[in-house]
Amino acid sequence: EGCDTRYTAVTGTAALRKAIAADLEKRKGLTYDPNTEIVVGNGAKQCVYQGVLATTGPLDSVIVPAPYWPSYPEMVALTGATPVILETKKEDGYLITPRALRKCLEDNEDDARLLILCNPSNPTGGVHSEERLRELAKVLEDFPKVAVLADEIYERLVYTDAEEEGGGGGHASFAA
């Protein structure tokens, strides 16, 4: 009991990783191995940056939907990759449409390696429904070199149904 003050594993304490895996399974139905698939970090900036660093290189591009958290393009640039801004529209609730994603990926097919998907969106608060996420995943199937970094830090800050009718309300994880 008391203070546990020591250096821990780089991936985080085993107890915390197990608790995170159990929470994801309970709330989202997602199963992860806490020993090989869960890594604990100091915060969103560190985790997103390391995710971009681990999956891209200097000749790659990273798709960043706009409006975006100002740190995304900077983190991408720090890795040597190039941020490619995917503009979203007010009439679409500033959410990614399958058509816009496909066009952006086709325009950057040679070097696109990652899509940063912030859901709910920072700064707009827009939430992609489960149906929309499936549509985006369907587009991504045609671009097997492109991974998705799902930034879902605000998943518990959803107070209305997701953007599309029949969205089921709340937050849907891209991983599901």
What would the pLDDT profile of 78-119 be if each residue is shown by its tens digit?
999 999 999 999 999 999 999 999 999 999 999 999 999 999
What would the pLDDT profile of 53-67 be if each residue is shown by its tens digit?
999 999 999 999 999
Q: Is the pTM of this model over 0.95?
A: no
Q: 15-26: buried (b, 16+ CB within 10 Å) or exposed (e) per residue?
A: eebeebbeebee
Distance (Å, whole) CA 139 – CA 55: 20
Distance (Å, whole) CA 163 – CA 126: 7
Ordered domains of the chain (ranges, CATH): 1-40 (no CATH), 43-176 (3.40.640.10)
